[in-house]
Amino acid sequence: MSAINPLEIIFDACKATNKREYPNIEKTLLTVIEFLPKKSKNLSTNFFRKIFSTSENITLILLGHLYIERLLNEIITIKYSILNTDDKNIKFNSFYKKIAFLKKEGVLEVNVADDIITINELRNCFAHELNYQLSSFDLWKLSELKKYRREVFEPKNRKLKEIFTRLILKIYFFNLMRNLSSEFRFLHLINEQ
């Protein structure tokens, strides 16, 4: 039996809903995704709480990016017995170098690595442009969204598009973390305070 894809659940909910009601889907996100574990050894409950409860775009992107980098660091540290993935280690002194290394080594699938690079580009938009609007992000570059038709789901209204993009990114972060922690069983996220 294959794992339930949370993106399919959200896209089904969006398809059955008027685009003006997308904010309601985001508000009830945890009830829409009934299969989320209450507590997980692989994904911390704080990750769920932080990612799914935030309505701040910059907070969502920075948190998602930080959690992904945490997992990349763990993969490099454990799989390659490399203790130092900080700024002093030139080989791993940037997020991009970590992804490029794992992609070159064949550790990350090409689609996953490319999606992480796209998320890194989004993080850079927020880091380098003071008033970056999430609605400007081309969500449809992400590999798992290629099977969905943009015109069916994406609102034309900028505010609704922002809400829709945030909703999908929340699920995308969750799905990415779940898939990485399933593939690399040694990964875990600390339940930080």
Angle at alpha carbon of residue 15, lines to 13 and 150, rounded to 5°: 120
Angle at alpha carbon of residue 191, lines to 31 and 8, rounded to 5°: 30
User: What pLDDT sits at residue 193?
Assistant: 45
Segments of the chain assigned E as strands: none
Contact 135, 165 (CB under 8 A): yes
Q: What residues have CB less than 8 Å from 76, skipping those under 6 apart? A: 82, 85, 92, 98, 101, 102
Token pair belonging to 109: 């699938």
Per-residue pLDDT of the chain (193 residues; tens, 9 = 90+): 456 778 888 888 888 889 998 888 888 776 655 555 544 544 556 777 788 888 899 999 999 999 899 888 888 888 888 766 665 666 788 899 999 999 999 999 999 999 999 999 999 999 999 899 999 999 999 999 999 999 999 999 999 999 999 999 998 998 888 788 777 877 765 544 4
HSE (CB half, 13 Å, CA atoms) of 3? Answer: 10
For residue 97, give the amino acid letter: K
User: What pLDDT sits at residue 153?
Assistant: 92
Cβ atoms within 10 Å, residue 138: 12
Contact 42, 183 (CB under 8 A): no
HSE (CB half, 13 Å, CA atoms) of 127? Answer: 10
- Assigned fold of 6-14+51-80+87-183: Four Helix Bundle (Hemerythrin (Met), subunit A) (1.20.120)
Q: Which of 174, 181, 159, 123 is nearest to 7 (CA)?
A: 174
User: What pLDDT sits at residue 1?
Assistant: 41
User: What pLDDT sits at residue 191?
Assistant: 46
Q: What is the DSSP letter of 140?
A: G
Domains in the chain: boundaries: 6-14+51-80+87-183
